[in-house]
Amino acid sequence: MTEPTPGPTPAPAVTLAPASSADLPSFREAFEAVAAERRWIGTEAPIDWTERGPRFEATVADPAWFVVLAKDGERVVGWVSCHDEGGGPVSLGMGIVDGFRSQGLGTQLLAAAIGWARHRGAHKVALEAWPTNARAIGLYEKFGFEVEGRYRRHWRRNDGSLWDAVSMGLVLDEDAPGGPPPGDS
Ligand SMILES: CC(C)(COP(=O)(O)OP(=O)(O)OC[C@H]1O[C@@H](n2cnc3c(N)ncnc32)[C@H](O)[C@@H]1OP(=O)(O)O)[C@@H](O)C(=O)NCCC(=O)NCCS
């Protein structure tokens, strides 16, 4: 008798939840893992958690921040964080650990973040990405973000190299008057 062919691996039971200070140890592992890859996010491992740990605690308690985690059980496997900077746009950063990418989690996290920004009355969401990060840029474009510019040789990496970055934006308020007014000359 032959063994039955196994079916497709079930999708992991990942849930989204607002971050709390209890998530710090697991968030730290997830963030450190993505930072250790050195090719997706700005932060590179090793990370100084004496500074970043208290910042995480302060952030999750601050209503000007929105931090939602993707969790496989209790394990943090992804995050999105947004900061409403008042007069400026909401700034956004996100990451998903290897093994949980390209399964729709980024779509869910980004939808939640944009929903929060809209609900807050923000006029725009802005972010930076490496120009080679096609998956991230594709995800942002799916939600209507546009590439607004390219910063040349902008960020110094730990190995001394200088990486370009693209700035992307999603305008949420097209109705307020634009500006600045024309100059005198
Ligand atoms: C970038 C990232 C957040 C995307 O999340 P994800 O869960 O992998 O993406 P999803 O499965 O939700 O796919 C979202 C969309 O990306 C786009 N996309 C995926 N792979 C792509 C590729 N190779 N090229 C272009 N677009 C791509 C598609 O539009 C896709 O939507 P669709 O499946 O409905 O067509 C995630 O891969 C990640 O964390 N990567 C490492 C860290 C990182 O890059 N962070 C962002 C820094 S700017």
* Whole-number Å distance between alpha carbons of 173 and 32: 35
- Tell me what the mean pLDDT of segment 20-30 comes to: 97
The total of structural domains in the chain comes to 1
Among protein residues, the one whose CA lies closest to atom 4 of ligand 1: 106
> At residue 127, does pLDDT exceed 70?
yes
Among protein residues, the one whose CA lies closest to atom 1 of ligand 1: 136
Return the CATH number at 25: 3.40.630.30
Output the pTM of the full model: 0.94
Lookup: tokens for 11: 């999708």
Q: What value does the mean pLDDT of the chain take? A: 94
pLDDT band of residue 10 (cuts 50, 70, 90) is very low
1, part of any domain: no
Q: Which atom of ligand 1 is nearest to the CA of 141?
A: 29
8, part of any domain: no
For 75-110, how does the pLDDT look when each residue is reduced to its tens digit (9 = 90+)? 999 999 999 988 999 999 999 999 999 999 999 999
Name which of 3-7, 15-19, 36-40 the model is least confident about.
3-7
Q: Output the CA 55–ligand 1 centroid distance in Å.
A: 27
State residue 184's pLDDT score: 81
Domain residue limits at 49: 14-171
Pocket probe mutation, ligand 1, options 135, 145, 151, 163, max atoms within 8 Å of Cβ: 135
Cβ 105 vs Cβ 96: under 8 Å: yes
**Residue 53: Cβ-neighbour burial (10 angstroms; 0-12, 13-18, 19+):** middle
67, part of any domain: yes
78, part of any domain: yes
> At residue 145, does pLDDT exceed 50?
yes
Cβ 164 vs Cβ 131: under 8 Å: yes
4, part of any domain: no
181, part of any domain: no
Q: Which atom of ligand 1 is nearest to the CA of 127?
A: 48
Among protein residues, the one whose CA lies closest to atom 37 of ligand 1: 101
Please indicate whether residue 146 or residue 3 has the higher confidence score (pLDDT): 146
- Ligand 1 pocket residues where CB is under 6 Å: 34, 40-41, 94-96, 101-107, 129, 133-136, 138-139, 142
102, part of any domain: yes
Q: Output the CA 63–ligand 1 centroid distance in Å.
A: 27
pLDDT band of residue 12 (cuts 50, 70, 90) is low
Cβ 154 vs Cβ 105: under 8 Å: no
> At residue 1, does pLDDT exceed 50?
no
Q: Output the CA 166–ligand 1 centroid distance in Å.
A: 16
31, part of any domain: yes
Concatenating the DSSP letter of every residue in the chain gives: -PPPPP-PPPPP-EEEEE--GGGHHHHHHHHHHHHHH-SSSS--SS--HHHHHHHHHHHHT-TTEEEEEEEETTEEEEEEEEEE-TTSPEEEEEEE-TTSTTSSHHHHHHHHHHHHHHHHT-SEEEEEE-TT-HHHHHHHHHTT-EEEEEEEEEEE-TTS-EEEEEEEEEE---SS---PPPP--
For 34-89, how does the pLDDT look when each residue is reduced to its tens digit (9 = 90+)? 999 999 999 999 999 999 999 999 999 999 999 999 999 999 999 999 999 889 99
From 94, 163, 172, 170, select the one nearest 135 (Cα to Cα).
94
